[in-house]
A and B are shown apart, each in its own frame.
Chain A
Amino acid sequence: MAKIIVVTSGKGGVGKTTSAAAIATGLALRGKKTVVIDFDVGLRNLDLIMGCERRVVYDLVNVIQGEAGLNQALIRDKRVDNLHILPASQTRDKDALTLEGVEKVLDTLNKDFDFIICDSPAGIERGAQLAMYFADAAIVVTNPEVSSVRDSDRILGLLASKTRRAERGEDPIQEHLLITRYNPSRVDLGDMLNLEDIREILAIDLLGLIPESEAVLRASNQGVPVTHDDDSDAGQAYADTVARLLGEEVPLRFHEYQKKSLLSRMFGGVRR
């Protein structure tokens, strides 16, 4: 039995795909059989972040429409065993995904994997609702910024009502907060919402906190999920997040502003 986790946010550009790629990679590095599915039909990008864009032959829509088998569409990750990617289609047909089709794909994957990570599109339309419908847990990616927090709250409303667990009256979806692009120095200046405020407003448990980091852009440039950059703050923060997802207690890091001394400012060089 696989655990189905949707990575969602409502707002676009907050780091859903980066997080889905990083968390899926982290789970696979921890030995879990993991598949990460791109639900953003028409705007596929997970393949780029995972660095497998040139190996895409078939996609999720092909599988659902019976044009390809699931095994033909699944891409095996080059770097980590146990990790597979199921890309989205570039079709402009918004109705290409069906609830029954998605259910069938997830049921098949269920037998072979420990974790199924669903990378949701932005918005609250059909694609986003399909990505969350069958989930057991949700990772709500939120930036410390008003529109992102508000949209996250909207998504929490949908998770509580428009999912299979909600409709069947089963145990509710586990909701986890993942704060990304956190800048402790701006928080210290009072210019950015702090993590306690965000947690208090959204009232869900904090799974992880990813600092704003140069490593994230570097990772996406190279098509190597940032979890592989284990010297970087963001890479370590995602590894911590994955550990918590696996039930380990890991203290929070990278959330406090470290004032730099004059010397380290002068000779600190480039932070990796």
Chain B
Amino acid sequence: MKLLEFLKRERKKSASVAKERLQIIVAHQRTQRGQPDYMPLLEKELLEVIRRYVQIDDDAVNITLDSEDNCSVLELNVTLPKS
């Protein structure tokens, strides 16, 4: 009986792993919602430009586009390594 419970508990995992993975990917997807289609490419190219001068990680650049009444603000946040 113990063995059965043990096996069952082991199996419990796959659905909860699925849930955790989905929560992360869906949260990421939602931050990109409503953004213009060019944003991923813009982010990639900005990363390349910055890398010509400083070596930074992929996640060191964070860009967001906020729309206000009649203008949009592109906010670029780059974390540079300590030199």
Q: Hey, which bits of chain A sit against chain B, CB under 8 A?
A: 145-146, 149-150, 153-154, 157, 160-161, 187, 189-194, 197, 201-202
Known contacts A150-B29, A153-B29: A194-B15 contact under CB 8 Å:
yes
In the bound complex, how far is the Cα of B32 from the Cα of A153, in angstroms?
12
Q: How far is the CB of A128 from chain B (nearest CB, A)?
A: 16
How far, in Å, is A30 (CB) from chain B's closest CB? 34
- Is there a chain A Cβ closer than 8 Å to B33's Cβ? yes
Q: How many residues of B contact A (CB 8 A)?
A: 18
5 inter-chain pairs at a CB distance below 8 angstroms, sorted by A residue, are A157-B34, A187-B15, A191-B11, A193-B19, A193-B22
User: Contact: A157 with B29, CB < 8 Å?
Assistant: yes
**Contact A201–B16 (Cβ < 8 Å):** no
Q: For the complex, is B21 an interface residue (Cβ under 8 Å from A)? A: yes
Kindly state the separation between the CA atoms of A147 and B64 in the bound complex, as whole angstroms: 26
A150-B26, A153-B26, A154-B29 known; A190 vs B19 contact (CB < 8 Å): no
Cβ A190 vs Cβ B11 within 8 A: yes
CA distance A37 to B69 in the complex (A): 39
A153 lies within 8 A of B15 (CB): no
Residues of A within 8 A of B34 (CB): 157, 160-161
Q: Which residue of A lies closest to B17 (CB)?
A: A146
Query: B52 an interface residue at 8 Å Cβ cutoff?
Result: no
Given contacts A146-B22, A201-B19, whether A157 and B12 have CB atoms under 8 Å apart is: no
Determine if B30 is an interface residue (Cβ-Cβ < 8 Å): yes
| Contact present for A191 and B14 (CB under 8 Å) | yes
Nearest chain B CB to A158's CB is how many angstroms away? 9
Contact: A161 with B21, CB < 8 Å? no
A193 near B18: Cβ-Cβ < 8 Å:
yes
A residues less than 8 Å from B22 (CB atoms): 146, 149-150, 193, 201
Q: How far is the CB of A187 from chain B (nearest CB, A)?
A: 7
Q: How far is the CB of B63 from chain A (nearest CB, A)?
A: 18
The answer to whether A150 and B25 touch across the interface, beta carbons within 8 angstroms, is yes
- Residues of chain A within 8 A (CB-CB) of B33 are 157, 160-161
Known: A191-B15, A201-B19. A157 touches B8 (CB 8 A): no
A187 to B18, CA, bound (A): 12
